Amino acid sequence: MTRAVLTLNAGSSSLKVALFPAQGDRSLATGQADAIGPEGTLKLKGPFGQPLEAAPGDLGSHGGAMRTVIDSLRVEYPDLALLSVGHRVVHGGDAFAAPVTVTPDILTTLEKLSPFAPLHQPHNLAGIRAATEAYPGVPQVACFDTAFHRSHPWVNDAFALPRALYDEGVRRYGFHGLSYDYVSGELARTAPHLAAGRLVVAHLGNGASMCAIQNGRSIASTMGFSALDGLPMGTRSGQVDPGVLLYLMDQKGMTAAQISDLLYRQSGLLGLSGLSNDMRTLEAAGTPEATQAIDYFVFRCQREVGAMAAALGGIDALVFCGGIGENSRMIRARICERLGWMGIEIDHALNAANGPVISSDLARTTVMVLPTNEELVIARAARAAVGISERTAA
């Protein structure tokens, strides 16, 4: 019998999945359903990256996609016994600082947070409902992108707004917590002297943020009330003067929905370049606009590394992760080239090899590249929910 846990990351029209054994860190299968609806597609890979054949099924809804995924996995693993399902949930508010097994009451609480993450939370919760319907009796475990940041000092959570708004939940939450949880855990295992110190972790991808971590605890994050704040991203704006939003409403007559679409889908690298949200495309394009988009991204990253180091009172290591952070040697080099005053100096040969350590022997501050694995964090939480500890699973 193949005893396993399933991890799900449900988006508006996609479903990212991974199947992990009850023991061990190597996934048995990974996959993604895209364009869920009449034109839905499903691609699956085995433990060594080999393609797996998708079973015929209904990709018209998240529930149908989920059943199709399991039907496909059962072809590869006919004796599959699903122990639990772990879900990425973007927003846990200030109530959840750790994964939880979902109950009807918890689901109601999470629904109330949907206005805080309107483009993510409803789809995450739809994934939980679909999995509950497809697999009644199998524990559903919610893992929160915000949970890792609940250790922030008050000054890093508050806005200078009337306190009543803070009490209502208008505060900084921070996101990408599953990624930061994985990175800090891996460093605790492989480089405990660094994990016990002052880290700035740069999760750079289509979504991008940085986190200041001290002795394994989040101290500050570039993302705040929403996943819009901080660094520019693929299509998201990053930090914007709130006066700009007032101008767009008062002078341009834009509605909240139009501004939301502008900030989430039309801005960032795509908006600046007028070309693409993909850093690889921009690096190859060579147009003035693409160059300016890259320049802006690099500048904001440099600025935020300094801000995170200031929140920590210094820096012992800078760690890159995420699609851009793990793969773009040019972006890493450009970010680091103006940070020599922080003791940061990279070895270009090591950087070209993508690490794991890319700092020079003479650098005072260690610079690393560490591929993140949010799915494994979720899988570990899903195992724990059914009594499988990592010590047992080792």
Q: Catalytic residues, which ones? A: 145
Residue 382 in contact with residue 141, Cβ under 8 Å? Answer: yes
Check: CB of residue 15 under 8 Å from CB of residue 66.
yes
Task: State the Cα–Cα distance between residues 47 and 45, nearest whole angstrom.
Answer: 7
Q: How far apart are CA 334 and CA 297, in angstroms?
A: 10
Dihedral sign from CA coordinates of 189, 190, 195, 197 = positive
Contacts of 45 (CB under 8 A, 6+ apart): 29, 30, 31, 51, 52
Q: Quick check: 219 and 212 in contact, CB under 8 A?
A: yes
Q: Which residues contact 303 (CB under 8 A, 6 or more apart)?
A: none
Beta bridge partners of 366: 317
Which letter, b or e, does each residue of 259-272 get, where b requires 16 or more Cβ atoms within 10 Å of its Cβ?
Answer: eeebbbeebbbbbb
From start to end of the chain, where are the E strands?
A: 2-10, 15-21, 29-34, 41-45, 51-52, 80-89, 100-101, 140-144, 198-204, 208-214, 217-221, 317-321, 366-369
Joined tokens for residue 305: 């590394």
Q: Which two tokens stand for residue 167?
A: 């009490």
